[in-house]
Each structure stands twice: as structure tokens, then as C-alpha cells.
Structure 1
Amino acid sequence: MPLARLPEAQSPQTRSKTLIRTWIYTLAALVVLMVAVGGATRLTGSGLSITEWKPVTGAIPPLTEQSWQREFEKYRQISQYELVNKDMTLSEFKFIYAWEWGHRQLGRLIGLVFFLPLVWFWVRGIIKGRLALTLLGIGALGGLQGAIGWIMVASGLEPGMTAVAPIKLALHLTVASIILACLVWVAAGLKDRSASPPEESAGYGPRILVGLILVQIALGGLVAGSKAGLTYNTWPLMDGELIPSSSALFVVKPWIENFVDNVLLVQFNHRVVAYVLVAFAIWHAWGTRRKAPGSGAARRANGMAFLTFAQMGLGIVTLLLAVPLWAGLAHQVFAMAVLAMAVVHARVSAIS
């Protein structure tokens, strides 16, 4: 009886790439978790509970009753407390404080999980050249994201404001999504596919999908920031119409401000791009199956069509239910999953 052939041992280079890919995918998972916690922070109204930005000393939460009272007193000075949470107790404040503190702690953890292994890989010569520069660029983007986060929070601390500025929240979410896309792109490119059969090019379709998804996420950030999901909770009609009148869509003057300040247009734009995205994903899947039936690209394109359709369905449910916490979080996190899969599809197609 012939002996079964043992798999060949991985080369040191292959093992190193596998280790780097595992590390980068871990970072990607932490970014998705960060988006989820950020969504929960927003939906629970916790984002303005910490009124200062202390990158180092802020890692230590209040430890005594006196320090809790000091933090609560700072919160009581802002408009959100005066206009929305006037009857809030200290125990209720501790709840919202915990969400925002946890969100910031997770940001610090991501920084450590990024830079400590990066230094170790670099010192050992495992990461170098173009890959090192790419990862440093992603790290710089992560640092910028922290600054954007504080700028966003600061917008909600201004007199008369009870929440952060929608456009700054949308920017914060979009940059997080770009960071996730960059991480997944790099990790997917490190996988050894030499043993896989070559695929026929899928064209620009996969990259267009990634672009559309990022645009839709940005529009979703505007919906979240302006609380547009709490209005017009019917589908497919909006205020009794399939397409609202132009006078209603552009009621704010100057007209450009409608794209941020008019909840009707903000939600309508999010709906329209969802339709465009799903239609394009289905068209891309159909075209790829015709061009290369049974290929990996065709299977991935079919998967993207399913994922975008499912995400649209989840968005409709979230709207009809007036954005309960579980649905809002599921819709936001699933958007990250759709983006990650689209990036993998685009990266593999680019390699092929």
C-alpha cells in the first residue's frame, strides 16, 4: 500500500506572508468591531459624554465617586445635557460614559496592535520596501482618523448643538471604511495563489463595486448623523411618493445644503444609490457568469450580488422599524462585511 504523500513544508517566505496576513486580518476585524462600537455609541447617545480629548491620560476612567462627579459636571455644561438629558442621573451618565470610553479604548488598542507587530516585523526584515511604505500609510490614516474623531465630537460640544455634525460623522465613518478596505486589499494580495488556475479578467466591475459601496457608506453616515432614518419610515414610497417633488428635495437655501441638512434628500440619496448598487452588482454577476462561467470570479460576483441585495433588505427593515438598536448595528456592521468582500473580489481580480 503506497504511503500518502505529505504536504510540502512551507517556505520561510510563505510562512512570513501567512503571519502578516493573519495580523492584518486581525486588524481588519478590530476595525469592524470599532465601527460596531461606534455605531452603538451613536445610537445610545453616548458620543458627547466625554468632553475632553486626552490621548494618554484619558485611558484611565474615573475611579472614585469624586472623579465621577467631576466628569458629570463637565457633561452638564454642554447643550446636549441642557436640552436633551436634563433629568439624567449619575448612574445613567456612567452608562453613556462607558460606551464612549470603550470606543476610545478600542482605538488605542488598534494602535497598539498595529504598531507593535509592525516594528517587530520591520526589525526582523519581514516587512520592507513597498509593503512597509503601504502599511505606514495606513498607520498615518489611522492617526488622522483619531483626529477626525475628536473634531467630530468637538462639533457636538458647540453651544446649541445636541449631536455631532452629520458631515463630520459621515467623514469619520468613511475614513474607517477606507482603512478597512486598505487592510483587506493588502492582506488579500499576500495570499499565495500560484497553485490556483488563472482567471479571465473581470474588468473594472469589481473596483466600481468597491467605489459604489464606499459612496453608499458615506451617504449612510449622513443618514445616521442627521437621524434621517427616523423619518419617512415607509418603503418604497417616501411621504406617499416614489420620487419626492424637487421643491421638497431642495427646500433649503442655498440648494447645496440640502444634501446634508434636508433629511428628505439625505434619505432619498441613500435609497437611490442602494438601487444603483444592487442593480450594478446583479449586472456584474450576470456579465461575469457569461464571460467566465464556473470561474472563481463568477462565484465571487454572484456572492456580491447576493450580499448587496441582502444589505438593501436589511436597510429597508431598519427603516420600517425606525432604527432600533439591533437593526441599526446590524446594518452598519453588514456594510463593512459587504465592503470587505468587494475588496477581496477586486484584489483577486486584479492579481488574475
Structure 2
Amino acid sequence: MVVQVENPAGDIAPRVRSVRVLALARWLLAVAVLVVLMIAVGGITRLTESGLSITEWKPVTGALPPLSEAQWQAEFEGYKRIGEYRQINGPAGMTLSDYKFIYFWEWSHRLLGRLIGLAFALPLAWYWIRGAIPKGYKPRLLALLALGGLQGVFGWYMVRSGLSEKVTDVSHFWLSIHLITALFTLAGLVWTALDLIQLDRNPAARPARLTGFAALTGLIVFVQLLLGAWVAGLNAGLASDTWPLMQGRLFPEVDWSKGFGWALTHDPYLLHFLHRWWAWVAVAALLVLSRKVRALGVRQASVAIHSAFGTQILLGIATVMTGVALWLAVLHQLVGALLVAATAWGAHAVGRRP
């Protein structure tokens, strides 16, 4: 097909060139799949308490794991200096073999982040040099690249928040920033890929706009994701193993002694309660969004939204009732990422312009 693109030198005046816009869209969707995988590995890292196993940030040399017994001992000694080891794993008798297990998951999570960076940056440079990026898309692609970089920085700040001798876990605030940045990046990748698919079908197509209702739905889903991240960071999933009641009652006992603000952001029982019931507010908004999408004839997006939130609800209940079984909790986080992608798809469908 033929579309207008900016030339490699960045001149404002567009010129006509034959480009494979669909290839750009497929590249972004492939990166989105890697981001979903990374979110799942991040969930395993969190649930196995592996996130603090690597106490230094080495963006380049850290891609290689320890290769000798001396290197393993050096890494283990660094881990022994933090509160998680001194207060929890040390007294429990952690061995070097135990340490290697948690190191593997944190190292895998960081390695996957590096691979995603390369999978985005190298093709971006290639398409840029060849002048294959449609007009108006360069700033958006650079913004997605910057989000990926911020994701790594936020991940390190999250880890650093748990390296003190006085704490045994990372800050749930930094954990939520780290996770939601990844999910926002995922939504951006999906949205941009869909814009490019529309451009491939029609050279006159304009980028979709974010409608008011889609923005409201996104905000409701954002609150649910934030609550979920705080629940994970505070291990609040363990506050109850029954559903729908908690502690034999609808509303659990909450520690209000430190004020409403503290309870809203720190009390595991309140956060668990809010996360399980705000989910139904999100479901209601997503139902309306999916009906709007279906009315526009984009049935696949409607089915994706229904499937994602239905599966997510069932996984959430199962995770609670099994006392946060590892693989159920990981699947819950994985489907949460797929729900974000499906929501972005639906929001894009209702925002397409003729």
C-alpha cells in the first residue's frame, strides 16, 4: 500500500513511499506479547519472594548470572546484608541452593525486560532509518520507548525500597507504579498497533480518539489494578480465604487507629475488601463498553472483553479460596494484563473516526 511518511532526515514535508504498515503493527503486537509474558514472570517473582535476591542494578553486566561458585557466594553475601534475609530467610535456614532459586526468577524478570528493550529499540531504529514510519507516529513510538526505560528505572526503585536492614519487603507503592507502568505501556502498544492496522486498511484513516466513556472505563479499571497491586504488595490476598464473606462477615475488621488515609492505603483487610468488590464496578463498566463495541460490529473485541473479565473474576475467587495458590495467582495477574489489552481494543473500537 502507499501512505505518506516522514523522510529519514525528519523533514516536515511528507513524501509518498510504499511501506508495509502492517509489519509495524505486527511488530508492536509481538512486543505486547512479550510485555504480557514479563508481567506474568513478575507475578511469579513477587509470589516466590524473589524480588530482592539481586541487590545491585547492573543494566549491562547484570545480563549474565553468576558463572562460578565464588560469584554465587558474593551475590549471596550481598543478599545476606538486607532485612529480608536477616529477619526471615536467614533464621529459616536458607541455603545457597535456596538462594539460587529466587535469584533465577529475579534474573529472568530483568533479562526479559532487557530483551523487550532490544525487541523494541532495534526495529524502531531500523524502521526509522528506512523511513518506514508513517507520518505522526514517531513521537508516539518514542514515548513508548521512554515508557519502557521508565519501567526499568521504577523497577529498580521498587527493589531499592526493600534493601534496608529494617524492612523485609518492597514498598507496595513502588510495586504499583512498576506494575501499572507496564500495563499502561501494554495498552499503548495495542492502541498504536490498532491505529496502524486501520491505516493499512485505509490510507486516509486517522488515529482513534479516546472517548469520554472509554476514559471513564479506563479510570475504573485503573483503580482496580491499583488496588490489586497494593493487595499483592501487602500480601493482603491472605487476609481471607473465604468468599463472599471475610471473617464470617461482609465488611471485615479494619484498623482505623491511624486514620482513614492510612487504612485506605495500608490496611490489608480494607484493601482486600475494596479489591474484591470494586471488581464488580469494573465489570459493569466493561459490560457497557463491550455492548458499545458489539453495536459497532467489532464482535471480536467484545468477546475478548467478556472472556477476560469473566475469567479474571473466577481466577480472583479461586485465588482467595485456595489461600493464594501460586499458579492461580500468577494466572490472575496474567489475565489482568490480557484484560487491559482487551479494554484498550474496545476503547479503540469506539473511538475510531470515519
TM-score normalised by structure 1 residue count: 0.88
3-state secondary structure, aligned to 1:327? helix
Q: Is the 8 A contact 1:282 1:302 kept in 2?
A: no
3-state secondary structure, aligned to 2:101? helix
Q: Is the 8 A contact 2:289 2:346 kept in 1?
A: no
Return the alpha-carbon distance in structure 1 between the equivalents of residues 179 and 94 of structure 2.
28
Report what 2:189 is aligned to. Answer: 183
| 1:146 and 2:152 matched | yes
Amino acid across the alignment from 1:344: W
User: Aligned Cα RMSD in Å?
Assistant: 2.2
Deviation for aligned residue 1:202: 11
Amino acid across the alignment from 1:236: P
Amino acid across the alignment from 1:218: L
**CA deviation vs aligned residue, 1:26-56 (integer Å, no higher than 9, x gap):** 1101111111111111111111010011111
In structure 1, stretches of 5+ residues that fail to align are: 1-9, 196-200
Amino acid across the alignment from 1:319: V
| 1:257 and 2:262 matched | yes
Deviation for aligned residue 1:210: 2.8
Return the alpha-carbon distance in structure 1 between the equivalents of residues 211 and 230 of structure 2.
31
Report what 2:317 is aligned to. Answer: 316
Alignment of 1:313-352 (within 5 A): 313-352=314-353
**Identity percentage of aligned residues:** 43
Report what 1:198 is aligned to. Answer: none
Amino acid across the alignment from 2:196: L
Deviation for aligned residue 1:97: 0.7
Change (3 A) 1:104 1:306: closer
Q: Is the 8 A contact 1:214 1:339 kept in 2?
A: no
Q: Decide which of 19, 42, 46 is 1:42's aligned counterpart.
A: 46
Q: Is the 8 A contact 1:188 1:347 kept in 2?
A: yes
Alignment of 1:45-124 (within 5 A): 45-86=49-90, 87-124=93-130
**CA deviation vs aligned residue, 1:218-246 (integer Å, no higher than 9, x gap):** 211100000000111111112222234xx
Amino acid across the alignment from 1:41: T
In structure 2, stretches of 5+ residues that fail to align are: 4-16, 204-208
| 1:216 and 2:224 matched | yes
Change (3 A) 1:57 1:284: closer
Q: Is the 8 A contact 2:211 2:347 kept in 1?
A: no
Return the alpha-carbon distance in structure 2 between the equivalents of residues 204 and 217 of structure 1.
20
Amino acid across the alignment from 1:181: A
Change (3 A) 1:88 1:202: closer
Return the alpha-carbon distance in structure 1 between the equivalents of residues 222 and 117 of structure 2.
23
Return the alpha-carbon distance in structure 2 between the equivalents of residues 227 and 259 of structure 1.
15
Q: Is the 8 A contact 2:234 2:266 kept in 1?
A: yes
Deviation for aligned residue 1:288: 6.5
TM-score normalised by structure 2 residue count: 0.87
Change (3 A) 1:152 1:89: same
Return the alpha-carbon distance in structure 2 between the equivalents of residues 288 and 148 of structure 1.
34
Change (3 A) 1:46 1:14: farther
Return the alpha-carbon distance in structure 2 between the equivalents of residues 36 and 165 of structure 1.
20
Return the alpha-carbon distance in structure 1 between the equivalents of residues 42 and 166 of structure 2.
23
| 1:230 and 2:225 matched | no
Amino acid across the alignment from 1:343: A
Report what 2:161 is aligned to. Answer: 155
- Which deviates the most, 208-217 or 115-124? 208-217
| 1:280 and 2:256 matched | no
Report what 1:241 is aligned to. Answer: 249
Return the alpha-carbon distance in structure 2 between the equivalents of residues 170 and 92 of structure 1.
27
Amino acid across the alignment from 1:25: L
| 1:23 and 2:24 matched | no
Q: Is the 8 A contact 1:210 1:342 kept in 2?
A: yes
Report what 2:308 is aligned to. Answer: 307
Amino acid across the alignment from 1:131: Y
